[in-house]
Structure 1
């Protein structure tokens, strides 16, 4: 099934364009629960069938397994040419004999370990290694991955290396991906980035990125890609035991998510549909990433992102103080097209 193509947005000053809904591939590498090769391939091919052709990955995801699974799926669909984003900063090497698995929450991964390398040569080698796993000779987007403890290295060696790769045409667009906004905002203001990937800091549950990151990106012409729009799952299922920010949710956070769910239910809208549509509403946001483990989840997220939502829902959320007064909300639209927040 091929859905009507969704509108595309350019990443910063680059020529790279992405659709409004992208596929995050960490779950396909066995994040928190195992995923077999067949399910992973089905999810990737289903995404392409639904018109979702922006895949975000990283060497960190399953110590290379996510990239390898993308490469295998694309080899089975040689006509496909999705926009691929990967990341640098963590390189991989064989796990020493007898060493414990370097799992980081991933299950069923190859016997490899991660290590940091922000040097010029390390950045170039990381990209080359990713290209081999992906089965490609070029990648569209490369992001500095979680440089929270390496800000000086970003300015000294990592960013210049990425800028050089962009100039050489090996990379189409460059940026950084993090779970915080403060450092991303500094990068946007100090560096020539096309895009930033911000995970979890602009969602239906919290909108802190609108205070610092979004204004900087508007000023500099930098695009935003949002990940973690379900805040580790609590905006998909706000129930006791739900996770927020990769850990069990505190009672106050769960109560807020439950309140969001009640407003959505009153309007006959699934909470996860509201979460997807809300995250992509601000014009600075080029795409919203959602992680999936199987083809059925891809279908569900594509359907949720295309669901029309009444204006009254957003008005009620504002009136109850559940979203900020100045937050952008999506206009009503018919339920056509492949899954994308506008």
Structure 2
């Protein structure tokens, strides 16, 4: 799989990143065997970029990922996790984290927001223990929407210190909102931003952010390429979700038109959704969430093969409303046999909550 460099650092990531939020039992449980098999399938498919966070399953995602990667040469994969939520003992457990955090795990811990320097150091030390590694390639400040000043003044500088010490390879911020990410790019020494759901076939609102990144030598990682479901099916159905709500009629109609273009060119809508973010030179990787081996195998096939230029022209015309003349005949490229299942949509959860 092609590798791209993060900012001005030596860290390199594959064009497809494995989002491990579903393996923290996001919304529903995944057994240990399936979690391990999914990571194994990713490795076999050439995926070497893995993203997790303490938030995902109250540490379960990090523990599972650490166990699965323990036998792999450390210099053969890129690992990212996040800071900003400390896991502390829950004084009043209810039995499940589903209501509070959205993960089907026992709520023996709770998340305490902490973007201070001390909180960052404590969070990272706990993550390294759960992952079983002595260094993290990329560390993101996770969803600091309500703690912007502390994150700018303390969290990012603390990570920059660790980067200079070699404990962290690259420093980033992960959010699903563009304006605060623009502030981090302008005011701090970040190497990368992870933007969830804002640079997709259906939502191009991160374009100003990508321009700012280009000016500052900052990379971007595009998460949630399926916009929580709308772009995850070859044939978007009534009731498909966009940003965790039923998609408006106009967006659903546009997604169906995009799917029609893909079919004419011998492929499926999720293929275009995976490849679209990589068309911008600032984007180093697309991170999607996976909970089964087949999901990751499908995405790896799509990530490895671009669409023909004519297909991109027609897809862009659907977005702009300027329909071109149809191609004389469909592309000769074969269609992928396996379409993404709805669980692929969980990429959005990698940074958004």
Q: Structure 1 length as normaliser, TM-score?
A: 0.89
1:49 Cα offset (Å): 1.4
Name the structure 2 match of 1:223.
219
Contact 2:258 2:318 in 1 (8 A): no
SS in 2 for 1:154: helix
Alpha-carbon distance in 1 for matches of 2:149, 2:322: 34
- The within-5 A match list for 1:48-63 is 48-63=43-58
Residue of structure 2 equivalent to 1:329: none
Q: Is the 8 A contact 1:260 1:322 kept in 2?
A: no
User: After the TM superposition, which of the residue ranges 168-177 and 150-159 deviates more from structure 2?
Assistant: 150-159
Matched with 2:110 is 113
Partner of residue 139, structure 1: 136
1:243 to 235, 241, 244: 241
Question: Cα–Cα, structure 1 residues 180 and 324, in superposed 2: closer, same or farther, change >3 Å?
Answer: farther
Contact 1:166/1:173 (8 A) holds in 2: yes
Aligned to 2:307: 309
Q: Secondary structure at the match of 1:213?
A: helix
Report runs of 4+ in structure 1 exceeding 6 Å deviation: none
**What residue ranges of structure 2 are gaps of 5+ in the alignment?**
324-330, 335-353
Match of 1:150 in 2: 147
Instruction: Give me the whole-angstrom Cα distance separating, in 2, the residues matched to 1:111 and 1:244.
Output: 32
Map 1:87-126 onto structure 2 (within 5 A): 87-99=82-94, 101-103=96-98, 104-109=101-106, 111-126=108-123
| 8 Å Cα contact 1:65-1:109 kept in structure 2 | no
* Secondary structure, aligned partner of 2:319: coil
Q: Give the stretch that moved more between structures: 59-68 or 25-34.
A: 25-34
Q: Does the residue aligned with 1:86 lie in a helix, a strand or coil?
A: strand
Between Structure 1 and Structure 2, the one with more helix by share is: 2
Contact 2:225 2:274 in 1 (8 A): yes
SS class of match (1:320)? helix
Three-state SS of the structure 2 residue aligned to 1:216 is helix
User: Within 2, Cα distance between the matches of 1:321 and 1:253?
Assistant: 10
- Compute the TM-score of the two structures, normalised by the length of structure 2: 0.86
Q: Does 1:18 align with 2:16?
A: no
Q: How does 1:153-164 map to 2 (within 5 A)?
A: 153-164=150-161
* Equivalent residue number for residue 28 of structure 2: 33
Residue aligned with 2:79, SS:
strand
How far has the Cα of 1:97 moved from its partner? 4.2
Question: How much does 1:196 deviate?
Answer: 0.5
In the TM superposition, 1:154-233 aligns within 5 A as: 154-210=151-207, 212-233=208-229
Distance 1:109 1:48, change over 3 A: farther
Measure, in 2, the Cα distance between the counterparts of 1:31 and 1:294: 13
In 1, Cα distance between equivalents of 2:198 and 2:248: 17
1:340 match: none
Q: Any conservation in 1 of the 2:26–2:102 contact (CA below 8 Å)?
A: yes
Contact 1:24-1:57 within 8 A present in 2 as well: yes
Q: CA deviation at 1:296?
A: 1.3
CA-atom RMSD in angstroms = 2.1
Deviation at 1:29? Answer: 1.2
SS at match of 2:64: helix
Which residue pairs with 2:338 in the alignment? none
The residue that corresponds to 1:234 in the other structure is: 230
Number of aligned residue pairs: give it: 322
C-alpha displacement of 1:324:
10
